[in-house]
A and B are shown apart, each in its own frame.
Chain A
Amino acid sequence: MNAPAAPLLQVRNLRVEFPTRRGTLLAVDDVSFDIAPGEVLGVVGESGAGKSLTGNAIIGLLEPPGRIAAGQVLLEGERIDNLPYERMRRIRGAKIGAIFQDPLTSLNPLYTVGRQIVETIQTHLPLSAQAARERALDLLKQVGIPAAEQRIDHYPHQFSGGMRQRVVIALALCAGPRLIVADEPTTALDVSIQAQIIALLKRLCREHGTAVMLVTHDMGVIAETADRVAVMYAGRIAEIGPVRDVIKSAAHPYTRGLMGSIPSMGVRSARLVQIDGAMPRLTEIPRGCAFNARCTEAGERCFRERPELMAAGATRAACWRHDTGGVGAVRTKEAAHA
């Protein structure tokens, strides 16, 4: 921890397991990435890819029976994945803020938003009630709540969805955290409000130098917000790299299919690009590459050996096509079924 570019957050070989009656499910499998100070890392993937679980594991809010089975999470060089509950609770809020999808369930309906923000500020910062309220008011103004002086004494139900999400962002920023884990922060909002919230998040992070881990299924949000993006598939990172490279020249066939299947505004065609099939269930992850059954470029090696992330042009992708050994003999769909 000496160079200024030292990563703020390091995730090393993270595994998240769910013990069930029928055996253990591996929901996040050997995931590693870094987030630099002030960086926005997008984590994108389809539902069930493990992106939210990765975020929850980092902030220490995995729902039991889910648990971290292996790996480490380091914040500013210190492990935070094995801390006792009470110590983690103090880090959460002070150093890591969290924003969830549904702003209504993130707020307590029985307290005014002002009281909730003041309480959070006083939990983490040694401020008097008066100073905390001033800070709360300042935060509400920063997140663009009109007439903040009156709104601070309103209850969550008196706010619209977009305004509530602004309050949640203010809550996450209370103690000036270094990292914000935002899990689908715009999914529950209308498109016009989405753009407002994204612009707000970007502006605040630039002003405060806060890093963001942005978990979403919406590639559009990632394209506008993130510096780098990690594409997850079946619990693993399929590809990670600078956002422009992943979107414009993806190296992993899954990323390419995912990008292609987003209806683009450029060309109107009779058919959209589609990836056949669906992501395998956690109980049915095949041997080799988890994407092999849906991949049009899979070779014999993809059914045998599991690829790790490797250099692939400007990004890193878990795909044998970028290994010197290649994918091996191409196995067509017909041959695979035979």
Chain B
Amino acid sequence: MPDGGTLPLVRLSALKRHFDVSPPWLVRALEGKPRQIVQAVDGIDIEIAKGETFSLVGESGCGKSTVARLVVGLYPPTAGKIEFDGNDMSQSRGRAEMAALRRRMQMIFQDPFASLNPRWRVFDIVAEPIRAFGLAKDAADLEQRVGDLLRQVRLTPADGRKFPHEFSGGQRQRISIARALASQPEFLVCDEPTSALDVSVQAQILNLMMDLQRRFGLTYLFISHNLAVVFHISTRVGVMYLGRLVEVAPTDTLFRRPKHPYTRMLLDTIPDLDMTGRQRAPVAGEVPSPIDPPTGCAFHPRCPFANERCSRERPKPVESEGGTVACHAIEEGRLPVEERSYAVRG
């Protein structure tokens, strides 16, 4: 869709991923139970522009990590299309051509204790993508590159001789970032990169990620459940609920004028550290099972504004203030926009 503007770096169209979690065939036959399908991602459209940070937020089980894994190709999609820089990723192409595309996207995982091989030295961990893509001319070049990468994440080249267990959680996440940067990617998928870390270390890692983005012009897809973190680092935010996108908006708009009732509810749960006495409004109910999602709008059983139409008809995303909202109440004008006092740009 070359509409004169710049092409998005990543485009997901009607992306779906279903998981079959049925019991074995024999059990099903004996007990007369149907197949059970988890609709982890149920048709989402996202465009991520070059150089921006697009964040996906939502509660556990909403499918945000599945989206991350779909984008980098760790899961094949059930339906829909993933385009990276105009290339349809599902098209079969030669090994070399695929590697050339793969090199340009990397992933940072949540748990820095599980995502580094404990038997490898840090040098080899960081060198692996360089070797795999044949980016280094010779051994000296490799050493130079790994040293530079470790310095970029505020470690020292001498740390390359150590093993992962000799590092703290924050330092390990730096190693993960160095490894992700090793193939000189343009696009990084970060799946909760700081949620296993302490707050003071979280700030270090987020600052580092923002520095690196400015320096190398990186594009981020950032997955998080922490709205305060998302507020600080994102250009645009997508809110997911039960495998669907309920709202996408530029960060300031989303936090200042949230539209979807679920977004409003999520914002209400941010702890109040300024001690203004604002009570966190506890929301009734829990996220329903994605095996058997509610009909219509998936949020309607918890939504204070739901009516009969919401329980029957699935809302379509509609344009709204530079983003989209999928909500009947907003579409019909039943739900007035409310201004939030916080979230002013400093």
Would you give the shortest CB distance from B157 to chain A, in whole angstroms?
A: 18
User: How far is it, in angstroms, between the C-alpha of A191 and the C-alpha of B268 when the chains are bound?
Assistant: 10
Residue ID in chain B nearest A257 by CB atoms: B200
> Considering only CB atoms, which chain A residue lies closest to B228 in the complex?
A263
**What are 7 sample pairs from A and B whose C-beta atoms fall under 8 A apart?**
A198-B280, A224-B280, A267-B346, A268-B231, A268-B251, A269-B232, A271-B207
B210 touching A270 by the CB < 8 A rule? yes
Residues of A within 8 A of B (CB): 46-47, 160, 162-163, 190-196, 198-199, 217-221, 223-224, 243-244, 247-248, 257-276, 278
B344 at the interface (CB under 8 A from A): yes
Measured in the bound complex, the distance between the Cα atoms of B205 and A274 in whole Å is: 9
Q: How far is the CA of A240 from the CA of B221 in the complex (A)?
A: 40
- Provide the bound-state CA to CA distance between A218 and B228, in Å: 13
* A222: nearest chain-B partner, CB-CB: B271
Given contacts A191-B266, A266-B274, A270-B210, contact A217 B199 (CB under 8 A): yes
What CA separation (Å) do A217 and B200 show in the bound complex? 11
Which chain A positions have C-beta within 8 A of B199?
A: 46, 217, 219, 258, 261-262
The reply to whether A191 and B207 contact each other, CB–CB distance below 8 Å, is no
The reply to whether B225 and A265 form a contact with Cβ atoms under 8 Å apart is: no
Q: Which residue of B lies closest to A220 (CB)?
A: B271
Known interface pairs A46-B199, A258-B200, A262-B228; A192-B269 also in contact (CB < 8 Å): yes
A243–B271 Cα distance when bound, in Å, is 14
CB of B59 within 8 Å of the partner chain: yes
Contacting residues, chain B, for A192 (C-beta < 8 A): 59, 265-266, 269, 282-283, 286
A218 contacts across to B, CB distance below 8 A: 271
CB-CB under 8 A from B346, the residues of chain A are 266-269
* Residues B238-280 near A (CB distance < 8 A): 251-252, 255, 265-266, 268-275, 279-280
Shortest CB-to-CB span from B125 to chain A, Å, is: 20
Neighbour of B60 across the interface among A190, A258, A263, CB < 8 A: A190
Give the A-B contact count at a CB cut-off of 8 A: 133
Known contacts A217-B199, A220-B270; 5 further A-B pairs (Cβ under 8 A)? A192-B265, A262-B199, A263-B232, A270-B210, A272-B232
Distance between Cα atoms of A218 and B272 in the complex (Å): 12
**CB neighbours of A195 from chain B (8 A):** 268-269, 280-283
Q: Are A220 and B207 in contact (CB under 8 A)?
A: no
Instruction: Establish whether residues B342 and A266, one from each chain, have CB atoms under 8 Å apart when the complex forms.
Output: yes
Interface residues of B in 131-176 (CB under 8 A from A): 168-171
Which residues of B are found within 8 Å of A196, using beta-carbon distances? 282-284
B200: A residues at CB distance < 8 A: 46, 257-258, 261, 274-275
Contact (Cβ within 8 A) A224 B272 = yes
Report B246 CB to chain A, min CB distance, Å.
Answer: 14
Q: Report which residue of B201, B206, B265, B284 has the largest number of chain A beta carbons within 10 angstroms of its beta carbon.
A: B201
CB distance from A183 to the nearest CB of B (A): 16
Any chain A CB within 8 A of the CB of B287?
yes
Question: What is the interface size of chain B, counting residues whose CB is below 8 A from a CB of the partner?
Answer: 49
Q: Are A265 and B204 in contact (CB under 8 A)?
A: no
With an 8 A cutoff between CB atoms, is B229 at the interface? yes
Whether the Cβ atoms of B272 and A276 lie closer than 8 Å is no
Q: Is A274's CB under 8 angstroms from B203's CB?
A: yes
Indicate with 1 or 0, residue by residue over B195-229, a CB within 8 angstroms of chain A CB atoms: 00011111110110010000000000000011111
Determine the distance from Cα of A193 to Cα of B282 in the docked complex, in whole angstroms.
Answer: 7
B95 at interface (Cβ–Cβ under 8 A)? no
| Residues of chain B contacted by A47 (CB below 8 angstroms) | 169, 198
Q: Are B228 and A264 in contact (CB under 8 A)?
A: yes
| CB-defined contacts of A244 to chain B, threshold 8 Å | 275
Question: Which residues 308-346 in B have Cβ within 8 Å of A in the complex?
Answer: 342-346
Quick one: given A191-B266, A217-B198, A269-B232, are A264 and B203 in contact (CB under 8 Å)? no
Give chain A residues whose Cβ lies under 8 Å from the Cβ of B287.
190
A190 with B225, Cβ < 8 A, contacts A261-B199, A265-B343 known? yes
Min C-beta distance of B202 to chain A, whole Å? 7
In whole angstroms, what is the CA distance A257 to B201 when docked? 11
Query: Which chain A residues lie closer than 8 Å to B60 at the CB level?
Result: 190
Query: What separation, in Å, do the CA atoms of A194 and B281 have in the docked complex?
Result: 11
Provide the bound-state CA to CA distance between A153 and B273, in Å.
40
Using Cβ atoms and an 8 Å threshold, which residues of chain A touch B201? 46, 278
**Which chain A positions have C-beta within 8 A of B232?**
263, 268-269, 272
B286 near A247 (CB under 8 angstroms)?
A: no
Report B-chain residues with C-beta under 8 Å of the C-beta of A193: 286
A198 to B201, CA, bound (A): 25
Least CB distance, A134 to chain B, in whole angstroms = 26
Are the C-beta atoms of B343 and A268 separated by less than 8 Å? yes
Q: Which of B251, B273, B282 contacts A219 (CB 8 A)?
A: B273
Q: Across the A-B interface, give the 6 residue pairs with the lowest CB-CB distance, nearest first.
A: A220-B271, A267-B346, A261-B203, A46-B198, A274-B203, A263-B228
